[in-house]
Chain A
Amino acid sequence: MIIFEDVCKTYQPLGNVALDHVNLHIHPGEFVFVLGHSGAGKSTFLKLILREEKATSGRVIVNGQDLSKLKERKIPYLRRQMGVVFQDFRLIPTMTAYENVAFAMRVTNIPEKHIRKRVPFALDLVGLKDKMDRLPDELSGGEQQRVALARAVVHTPKLIIADEPTGNIDPQLSLEMMELLGAINAMGITVVVVTHEHELVSRFNKRVITIDKGQVVADTDQPGLGAAFRDAENAKLDLGEVRI
């Protein structure tokens, strides 16, 4: 589903290296966490998948398409194959939950008849069918994030990517959010969740790819990789606990 082949990303003009020779392979139907500290390069990783940024070198292949060769005007069609969820929800405050989800379908040229069927279905999936006429301000943070999730899945994409989806909601709701993502994954949709929350990741028995300073330093699919790094991280965590 997603293949990174020796990908580097350097931001000009300062020359910040955000990704440094990244190699990885995410298969269709997988649920993957991408874990890393602030500034590790997690968002950059997602931006490359969304083709918001172009790799400086190496190849990014998403759903069989080599993104370095993708023409500008084909980018919208690439994005229609995915759904995105952000930390700050990105809902339109003047539109109801229903309208927010419908908006995503309208602007991609989907007929109204289809929208009227799909939107309630997606809102039902995230448990918000009875609140679909509320404005974002009239919903809790967790509910707003679920609207965002409904918007990401409404067109039945092959891939969902989420950038810190639990960053603005409390831990209890974070777990619910993850369970929803798990349910969506069970429908056969590939899910990639980017987060810096070590705690949250450790509660789920899923594949974890750890990025640090732009490099993949650990991958639970490849136990050999990054053992030293893991030990160092654990040592840090232990120290933290001692201090408290």
Chain B
Amino acid sequence: MKWSSFRYLVGQGLHSLRMNRLMTFASVGVLSVCLILTGVAYLFSTNVDSLVEYIGQQNEMVVYLDPDLSEEEISQVDSSVRSISGVTSITYVSKADVLETYKGYMEEYADLWDAFEDDNPFKANYRVVVEDLEQMEALSAQFAAIAGVVKVSAPLELSDIFVSVQRVVTYAGYAFVAVLAVVSVVVIGTTIRLTLFARRKEINIMKYVGATNGFIRLPFFVEGVASGLISAAIASAVVLGSYYALEYYSGQIFTGMWATVVGASLVPLADVWYWLVAGFCAFAFVLGGLGTAVSIRKHLNV
């Protein structure tokens, strides 16, 4: 196709976008709302992921060692413990470290603890942060099986709850986005159908003078995809703007314990904005094209 023809066809598509102002407005409106909701669903689920990860980090497993182990035995256990994969961090806390910690809690009575210096009653242990909360149960069994480990304490129930919340949010998000995608395709399809109707005379003439199908269809795709991209721009502005405000004012909105949790786990805008914008554009491009294709297939017999 010649460049001048291509420019002409793109011009035709954009022209009908303007002529069809009311319907364009309606379809861009609906599509923007769909994209905004999709964006919110994405941000929500990203933040739930981040929250689950944060809580996972707070929920260490503690692997207790037999207090009667000799230094040699401890070093053997150490290599077994460190050979297990699926672990984000592992910290050894010796008997003495535990004692120090308790001393720190009760500084006034630090002297009292001195009595234990020679006969330390605490167990040396490993603080383990797992990579994936779902794997906590399996990992805790692996640690328990190592000779020299007397006990593994893992907050299994709590991790179960967060893992299920995360799963529900993810699946609900998928379902939600699928429904919105269908709605968008229908709305764009309807707009294109109106354009087809408004331009049926021109289409008829184009057929008789020997315009190819591609030539007849291209302006409609331009219109559909352009509506999509306008919606993507609107949705980006709204979602990024709101999220920015949320981030900026989160200190005032959340108080107490929530301030700590949100402060640590709120995903920064800087880490997600490009995903959102790229996602919006891709999503809008595909939906605009698909809506047009569906409508053309149904209503344009060329």
Query: What residues of chain A have their CB less than 8 Å away from a CB belonging to chain B?
Result: 50, 73, 75-80, 84, 90, 92-93, 103-104, 106-109, 111-112, 151, 155
Contacts and interface: CB of A to CB of B under 8 A. Distances in A.
A155 B211 CA distance: 13
A76 B8 contact: no
B208 A109 contact: no
Contacts of A50: 208
Interface string B1-33: 110110010000000000000000000000000
B213 A73 contact: yes
B202 interface: yes
A224 to B, nearest CB: 36
Interface string B253-283: 0000000000000000000000000000000
Interface residues of B, number: 19
A77 B204 contact: no
B104 to A, nearest CB: 82
A107 B206 contact: yes
A183 B207 CA distance: 26
Contacts of A155: 209
Contacts of B202: 92, 103
Interface of B: 1-2, 4-5, 8, 201-202, 204-213, 215-216
A90 B203 CA distance: 11
Contacts of B2: 109, 111
B8 A106 contact: yes
B211 A108 contact: yes
The 9 closest A-B pairs by CB, nearest first: A79-B210, A80-B210, A107-B211, A104-B209, A76-B210, A76-B212, A107-B206, A84-B208, A109-B5
A78 B212 CA distance: 11
A76 B211 CA distance: 6
Contacts of A84: 208-209
Contacts of A108: 209-211, 215
A73 B201 contact: no
Contacts of A104: 205, 209
Contact of A107 (B4, B201, B209): B209
Contact of B204 (A90, A111, A112): A90
Nearest to A148: B205
A104 B211 CA distance: 8
A79 B1 contact: no
A79 B209 contact: yes
Contacts of B5: 106, 109
**Most chain-A CB neighbours within 10 Å: which of B1, B202, B209?**
B209
12 contacts: A75-B210, A76-B213, A84-B209, A92-B205, A93-B201, A107-B211, A107-B216, A108-B209, A108-B215, A109-B2, A111-B4, A155-B209
A4 to B, nearest CB: 21
B205 A103 contact: yes
A114 B201 CA distance: 25
A154 B154 CA distance: 85
